[in-house]
Amino acid sequence: MNKKEIDINTDWLIDVRRTYLSGASRKLAELERAIAGLEQNPTSVLHERRLRRLLHNLIGSGASYGFPAVTDTARGMSECLKRRREGQLSVDTEVLTNLRAYLARLRRIFYDARA
């Protein structure tokens, strides 16, 4: 591979990552809505499924676009829900507090990546 090909590949990756980051606000807002829905109705299967789907997508896309911290944080949120389902954590405040802490971490990750 020559220098020109490397530059083209690097430019492509930068553009792809920039496009991914441009959707960060939407992704965070969707997560926020799903968590709020779960907060309003802690037994809602619909809100939990929605949150799991969003997290599943972030786990995969974070890794695909070169943001392992996004993947790790989304995986942590998913594990929090898994423990909830297994009864290791209460359905209430502790789970929601943990989810919101992870969400704040995601916000910082996306903010730092755009800087």
Q: Quick: pLDDT tens for 8-28.
A: 567 887 888 899 999 999 999
* Predicted pLDDT of residue 106: 97
Q: How confident is the model at residue 81 (pLDDT cuts 50, 70, 90)?
A: confident
The residue type of 36 is A
- What CATH number should be reported for the domain holding residue 81? 1.20.120.160
Total of domains in the chain: 1
Neighbouring C-alpha atoms within 13 Å toward the C-beta of 33:
9
Q: Which domain holds residue 89?
A: 3-114
Q: State both tokens at 65.
A: 């676009």
Q: Quick: pLDDT tens for 24-64.
A: 999 999 999 999 999 998 888 888 899 999 999 999 999 99
